[in-house]
């Protein structure tokens, strides 16, 4: 165990703050004479106009609560050396949120207090930390049972109604739209603008996805467009929250958020992963081409089938026409014979009826002639008339009336002297 400093003070014999700070500085510098390697996370970073870089390093405990913090700086000359080397190795500039392995000189200033001077940085540690987070995210998605969910959705053809998650100013978005416009199809795109990097990027992407989900029936597919960037910038799409949203999204998600060598966890869980935004647009145009080709094939198949059916039906109609003509001729001949027989029967029957009725009419005529007035008068009967009306009853006359009596050879004028009714 190191020996404690033997500093004796009393109220009468005290030391100044400056003296104390010098002692602390001397003790630290003597104990940490050589630089040391430490791992920490950059919580804040500011590049001064002078070229010096000022950082705040933190180590987080359970629940993300800081368990240790320290100020740090990289002097301009050192920063101009290690920063480009770090960016070339990792594809990312130094920024807040990165876990780093840095070599530091422990220093203490009487006025500014304790700080760490960074003199070197190991890029491989940061790259390893990024990969570790990716593996953790993948393991969580598999454990949740959502790893394959979005890939199991059907991608409709043609995919014409596209919800786009991107920054409106991103070159990748412009490339995507330009490629769609070069196609022969009329795509309907709606931009859900999102910050595709930085601290607010995760929440921004998730808000855009939630907005699309609330009106999912209006779209066929979601395209997440970014178009490259550094490896660390693209680590946003290794986020568990974003990947989980994509995996469980109700519409197929197509990603185009990196270059050829970049495959994020979001790419892995998406329905379809394209290398670039332009490739996403090309995919949609190819799907439309496939649908048009399918429709052409269906049209040709339908035309061939219609032609075949028309030929078969023409032959069937011809055959039916021949059969109908033959059957109709036979039926007509049969009906003509039947009609001829019926006509002869009717004619014979009519002739018999006419003969019978003629005889009956002659008999009636003879009977009617027998009942004529002339014949009746010849038999000795007379017709009594009063005022040109034939009298049929004594009740129609009275004593003193003048009547005419018609006989077969003339008319008598008489006056009624008496009326004697017939007794029954």
Among 118-122, 225-229, 292-296, 317-321, the range scoring the smallest mean pLDDT is 225-229
pLDDT for res 296: 86
Q: Select the more confidently predicted residue: 157 or 318.
A: 318
Q: CB–CB of 394/421 below 8 Å? A: yes
- How much is the average pLDDT of 93-98? 84
Residue 421 is given by DSSP the state P
HEC sequence for 284-324: HHHHHHHHHHHHHHHHHHHHHHHHHHHHHHHHHHHHHHHHH
Which whole number is the average pLDDT over 282-291? 91
Question: Residue 84's pLDDT is what?
Answer: 92
CB 115 within 8 A of CB 25: no
Q: How is residue 72 written in tokens?
A: 């740090």
What average pLDDT score do residues 24-41 get?
A: 88
More confidently predicted of 197 and 100: 100
Q: What is the mean pLDDT of the chain?
A: 87
User: According to the model, what pLDDT value does residue 190 have?
Assistant: 96
pLDDT value at residue 9 = 84
Percent of the chain with pLDDT over 90: 47
What is the average pLDDT across 2-20? 81
Residues 6+ apart with CB under 8 A from 402: 386, 413, 414, 415, 416
Radius of gyration of the chain (CA): 61
Tell me the mean pLDDT in the region 152-180: 92
Q: 54 pairs with which residues across the strands?
A: 46, 73
**At residue 186, does pLDDT exceed 50?**
yes
Structural domains in the chain, sorted by start: 17-121 (2.40.50.140), 132-289 (3.40.50.280), 375-415 (no CATH)
Q: Which pLDDT score, from 0 to 100, does residue 420 have? A: 82
The answer, yes or no, to whether residue 131 has pLDDT greater than 90, is no
Contact 65, 16 (CB under 8 A): no
**pLDDT reported for residue 1:** 45
Tokens 């059916």 belong to which residue? 309
Contact in structure between 221 and 252 (CB atoms under 8 Å): yes
The whole-number pLDDT of residue 4 equals 65
Instruction: Say what the pLDDT of residue 157 is.
Output: 79
Average pLDDT over every residue of 278-296: 90
The predicted-structure confidence for 66-94, as pLDDT tens digits, reads as follows 899 999 999 999 999 999 998 888 777 88
pLDDT at residue 187 greater than cutoff 90: yes
Q: Point out the least confidently predicted range of 57-71, 169-183, 185-199, 376-390.
A: 376-390
Least confident of 100-109, 267-276, 364-373, 392-401: 364-373
Contact 172, 223 (CB under 8 A): no
Q: When comparing pLDDT for 146 and 98, which is higher?
A: 146
Q: pLDDT by residue (tens digit) across 371-419?
A: 777 777 777 778 888 887 888 788 888 888 888 888 878 888 888 888 8
Listing DSSP states for 142-164 in one string gives HHHT-TTTGGGS---SS--EEEE
Omega of the bond prior to 158 within 30 degrees of 0, cis? yes
For 200-236, how does the pLDDT look when each residue is reduced to its tens digit (9 = 90+)? 888 999 999 999 999 999 999 999 998 765 555 567 8
pLDDT at residue 396 in the model: 82
Q: What is the pTM for the complete model shown?
A: 0.55
Contact 369, 390 (CB under 8 A): no
pLDDT at 285: 92
What's the mean pLDDT in 56-64? 85
DSSP codes of every residue in 40-79: EEEEEEEE-TTS-EEEEEEEE-GGG-EEEEEEEEE-HHHH
Alpha-helical runs (H) found in 72-118: 76-90
């Amino acid at each position: 165990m190191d020996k404690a400093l033997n500093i004796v003070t009393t109220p009468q014999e005290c030391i100044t703050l400056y003296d104390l700070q010098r002692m602390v500085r001397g003790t630290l510098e003597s104990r940490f004479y050589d630089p040391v390697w430490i791992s920490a996370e950059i919580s804040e970073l500011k590049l001064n106009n002078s070229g010096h870089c000022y950082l705040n390093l933190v180590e987080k405990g359970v629940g993300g609560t800081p368990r240790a913090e320290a100020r740090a700086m990289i002097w301009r000359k050192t920063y101009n050396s290690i920063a480009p080397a770090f960016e070339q190795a990792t594809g990312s500039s130094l920024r807040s949120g990165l876990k780093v392995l840095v070599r530091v000189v422990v220093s203490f200033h009487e006025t500014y207090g304790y700080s760490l001077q960074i003199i070197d940085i190991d890029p491989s540690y940061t790259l390893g930390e990024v990969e570790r987070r990716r593996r953790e995210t993948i393991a969580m998605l598999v454990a949740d049972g959502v790893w394959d969910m979005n890939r199991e959705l059907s991608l409709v053809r043609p995919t014409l109604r596209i919800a786009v998650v991107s920054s409106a100013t991103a070159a990748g978005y412009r490339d995507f739209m330009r490629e769609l416009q070069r196609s022969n199809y009329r795509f309907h795109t709606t931009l859900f603008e999102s910050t595709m990097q930085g601290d607010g990027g995760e929440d921004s992407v998730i808000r855009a996805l939630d907005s699309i989900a609330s009106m999912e029936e209006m779209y066929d597919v979601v395209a997440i467009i970014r178009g490259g960037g550094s490896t660390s910038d693209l680590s946003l799409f290794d986020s568990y929250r974003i990947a989980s949203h994509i995996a469980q999204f109700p519409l197929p998600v197509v990603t185009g958020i990196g270059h050829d060598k970049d495959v994020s966890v979001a790419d892995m869980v998406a329905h379809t992963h394209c290398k670039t935004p332009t490739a996403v647009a090309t995919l949609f145009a190819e799907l439309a081409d496939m649908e048009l080709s399918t429709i052409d094939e269906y049209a040709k198949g339908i035309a061939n089938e219609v032609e075949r059916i028309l030929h078969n039906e023409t032959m069937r109609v011809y055959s039916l026409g021949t059969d109908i003509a033959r059957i109709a001729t036979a039926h007509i001949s049969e009906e003509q014979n039947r009609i001829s027989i019926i006509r002869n029967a009717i004619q014979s029957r009519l002739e018999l009826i006419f003969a019978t009725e003629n005889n009956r009419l002659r008999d009636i005529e003879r009977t009617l002639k027998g009942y004529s007035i002339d014949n009746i008068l010849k038999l000795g009967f007379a017709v009594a008339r009063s005022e040109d009306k034939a009298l049929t009853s004594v009740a129609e006359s009275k004593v003193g009336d003048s009547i005419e009596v018609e006989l077969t050879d003339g008319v008598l004028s008489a006056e009624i002297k008496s009326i004697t009714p017939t007794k029954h």
